[in-house]
């Protein structure tokens, strides 16, 4: 995954169709009013800054030279008319009746090597009918962050959109300062969001909801087609969406990931992590950490993410009520029942996840309190989130813990020693005394490396100076987040003092 020289691409036929697989236009077939055809705005002097060969391989894409045109928005994918879809959404709790792909265009629908349909979407390809007066561009800074983080999330096993390419241009773009333009090509089985259903519901266009739901089910939940009765089929589908959302929220908490803008238009109908804007991984652990400085009220703080994901499911279910039967009272009651399924789904997932992070074989009464006491110690001492869980693996199951690991990081030593004693007793109660095996198991679920803000910023600074090497380093590092990688140990360290308060906003 090394940068491809622009000169090599300039010599290639960027519009050649012979190397590009045919499209499988299923979402496009929905037609209006779900989306509109839009041609991308040409990007001046495009350069392929980075190319994700892992994603390319899954799509059967080999000829990089033939891709620069489509991946920059300067040439079409053969046989496909680019489109921008319309949706609405609740932004910071306030309903906005029309949003849509303001700076994103779907440029192809392909089958991957396993026969699954994947959508390719350019982010930053210019204005669409939904741009709301904005320029439709993305900047290099935010594009690098999304390019790196989507792969980092994939590597830790969290469902996510992925990125195929990063294209840059000297075109100036105004954000807080003057920056340069970039385009990322995002890849996902679907980019349908909760907000797609909200758009048609709140505009009273309920007749379009079945077509959209039928498309999603047929493409991504085909096992539900066996349910003949429509109301039961839609209900079963919505239960799965809620369960996937609960899983995603629990997994975010488990790796210390903060999304930053958990609006309903940023929630995938497939439970994918989508729209990497002002995200961040926790360094010093704080329950109320806010990664987006535009979030004045802390609505999307780390500790509130599970509740907000649940609230968002409520907005989806409200929009889906017309799908749940003609009897409005019965439909609302069914939607309420589906909504209440989030709590158990989240709790069960979180309980197993935290148990794994502690190296516990089974889940018992009292484990939640044990975990909460640990997190309270970490919170009060501002312990590094990622490193703390790696250090837990050093605690022996029987002998005194000594001055290793987290004991050197916490402020309340007496409380820490008491917690360790209880933790050791818990391990012994289930016969979990093979310390080497437990440590290995814990290190398979507690990553050593995450995309910390200061690491992303270092890659951005070098890229803005023309050096893409740090992007390559991070892509390789983050593809193996659980491995020790001794020569890369410095990348696991907390940020230096001057980099601990990097601010990320919605323009990111």
pLDDT tens series, the chain, 508 aa: 333 333 333 333 334 444 688 787 899 999 999 999 999 999 999 999 999 999 999 999 987 878 999 999 999 999 999 999 999 999 999 999 999 999 999 999 999 999 999 999 999 999 999 999 899 999 999 999 999 999 999 999 999 999 999 999 999 999 889 999 999 999 999 999 999 999 999 999 999 999 999 999 999 999 999 999 999 999 999 999 999 999 999 999 999 999 999 999 999 999 999 999 999 999 999 999 999 989 989 999 999 999 999 999 999 999 999 999 999 999 999 999 999 999 999 999 999 999 999 999 999 999 999 999 999 999 999 999 999 999 999 999 998 766 668 999 999 999 999 999 999 999 999 999 999 999 999 999 999 999 999 999 999 999 999 999 999 999 999 999 999 999 999 999 999 887 777 767 665 4
Residue 463 included in any domain? no
Task: Indicate the residue among 443, 477, 499 that finishes a domain.
Answer: 443
Q: List beta partners, residue 106.
A: 83, 121
Say if residue 127 is in the same domain as residue 165: yes
pLDDT on residue 14: 38
Say if residue 168 is in the same domain as residue 256: no
Say if residue 266 is in the same domain as residue 405: no
pLDDT on residue 133: 87
Say if residue 42 is in the same domain as residue 174: yes
Please state, in angstroms and rounded to a whole number, the distance separating the CA atoms of residues 434 and 8: 55
- Find the length of the chain: 508
Task: Indicate the residue among 416, 443, 470 that finishes a domain.
Answer: 443
Please state, in angstroms and rounded to a whole number, the distance separating the CA atoms of residues 351 and 354: 5
Number of domains in the chain: 3
- 412 touches 377 (CB < 8 A): yes
Say if residue 206 is in the same domain as residue 155: no
Say if residue 24 is in the same domain as residue 143: yes
209-246 as b/e: b if 16+ CB within 10 A: beebbbbbbebbbeebeeeeeebebbbbbbbbbbbbbb
Select from 197, 51, 38 the least CA-distant residue to 106.
Answer: 38
pLDDT on residue 505: 63
pLDDT on residue 400: 78
Structure tokens at 142: 């935010």
Task: Indicate the residue among 164, 191, 218 that finishes a domain.
Answer: 191
Residue 109 included in any domain? yes
Residue 358 included in any domain? no
pLDDT on residue 20: 83
Say if residue 203 is in the same domain as residue 170: no
Say if residue 106 is in the same domain as residue 87: yes
Say if residue 341 is in the same domain as residue 381: no
Say if residue 37 is in the same domain as residue 134: yes
Residue 218 included in any domain? yes
pLDDT on residue 16: 43
**Is the bond into 33 cis (omega within 30 degrees of 0)?**
yes
* Residue 111 host element (H or E): strand 104-111
pLDDT on residue 4: 39
Structure tokens at 500: 């601990």
Say if residue 426 is in the same domain as residue 313: no
Q: Where are the alpha helices (DSSP H) in 341-452?
A: 342-358, 367-381, 385-392, 413-429, 435-443
Select from 130, 101, 105, 131 the least CA-distant residue to 120.
Answer: 105
Residue 246 included in any domain? yes
Residue 473 included in any domain? no
Print the domain residue range for 373.
364-443
Query: Does the annotation count 409 as an active-site position?
Result: no
Structure tokens at 60: 């059967």
Residue 47 included in any domain? yes
- 30 touches 76 (CB < 8 A): no
Select from 223, 255, 251, 247 the least CA-distant residue to 236.
Answer: 223
Say if residue 126 is in the same domain as residue 31: yes
Residue 479 included in any domain? no
Catalytic residue among 265, 275, 283, 295: 265
Our CA angle for 187, 209, 336, nearest 5°, is: 100
pLDDT on residue 29: 94
């Amino acid at each position: 995954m090394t940068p491809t020289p622009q000169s090599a691409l300039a010599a290639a036929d960027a519009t050649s169709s012979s190397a590009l697989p045919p499209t499988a236009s299923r979402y496009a077939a929905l037609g209006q009013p779900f989306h509109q055809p839009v041609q991308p705005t040409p990007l001046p002097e495009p350069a392929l800054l980075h190319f994700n060969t892992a994603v390319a391989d899954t799509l059967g894409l080999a000829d990089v030279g033939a891709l620069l045109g489509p991946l920059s928005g300067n040439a079409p994918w053969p046989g496909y008319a680019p489109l921008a879809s319309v949706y609405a959404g609740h932004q910071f709790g306030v309903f906005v009746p029309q949003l849509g792909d303001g700076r994103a265009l779907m440029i192809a629908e392909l089958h991957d090597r396993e026969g699954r349909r994947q959508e390719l979407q350019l982010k930053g390809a210019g204005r669409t009918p939904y741009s709301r007066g904005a320029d439709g561009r993305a900047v290099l800074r935010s594009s690098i962050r999304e390019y790196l983080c989507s792969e980092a999330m994939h590597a830790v096993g969290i469902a996510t959109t992925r990125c195929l390419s990063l294209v840059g241009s000297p075109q100036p773009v105004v954000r807080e300062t003057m920056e340069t333009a970039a385009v990322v090509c995002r890849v996902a089985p679907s980019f349908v969001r909760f907000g797609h259903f909200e758009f048609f519901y709140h505009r009273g266009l309920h007749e379009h909801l079945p077509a959209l739901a039928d498309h999603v089910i047929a493409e991504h939940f085909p096992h539900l087609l066996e349910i003949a009765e429509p109301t039961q089929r839609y209900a079963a589908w919505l239960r799965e969406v809620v369960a996937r959302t609960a899983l995603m929220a629990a997994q975010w908490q488990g790796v210390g990931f903060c999304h930053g803008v958990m609006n309903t238009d940023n929630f995938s109908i497939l439970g994918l992590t989508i729209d990497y804007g002002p995200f961040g991984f926790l360094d010093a652990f704080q329950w109320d950490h806010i990664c987006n400085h535009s979030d004045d009220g802390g609505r999307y703080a780390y500790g509130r993410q599970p509740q907000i994901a649940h609230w968002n499911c409520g907005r989806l279910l409200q929009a889906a009520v017309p799908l749940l039967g003609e009897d409005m009272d019965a439909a609302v009651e069914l939607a309420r029942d589906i909504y209440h399924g989030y709590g158990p789904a989240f709790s069960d997932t979180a309980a197993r996840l935290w148990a794994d992070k502690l190296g516990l074989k089974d889940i018992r009464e009292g484990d939640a309190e044990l975990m909460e006491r640990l997190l309270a110690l970490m919170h009060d001492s501002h312990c590094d989130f990622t490193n703390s869980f790696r250090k837990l693996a050093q605690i022996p199951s029987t002998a005194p813990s000594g001055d290793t690991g987290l004991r050197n990081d916490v402020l309340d030593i007496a409380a820490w020693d008491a917690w360790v004693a209880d933790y050791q007793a818990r391990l012994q109660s289930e016969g979990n005394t093979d310390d080497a095996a437990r440590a290995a198991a814990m290190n398979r679920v507690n990553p050593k490396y995450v995309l910390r803000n200061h690491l992303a910023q270092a890659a951005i600074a070098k890229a803005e100076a023309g050096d893409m090497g740090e992007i390559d380093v991070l892509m390789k590092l983050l593809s193996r987040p659980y491995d020790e990688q001794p020569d890369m140990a410095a990348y696991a360290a907390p940020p230096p003092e001057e980099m601990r308060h990097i601010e990320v906003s919605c323009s990111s």
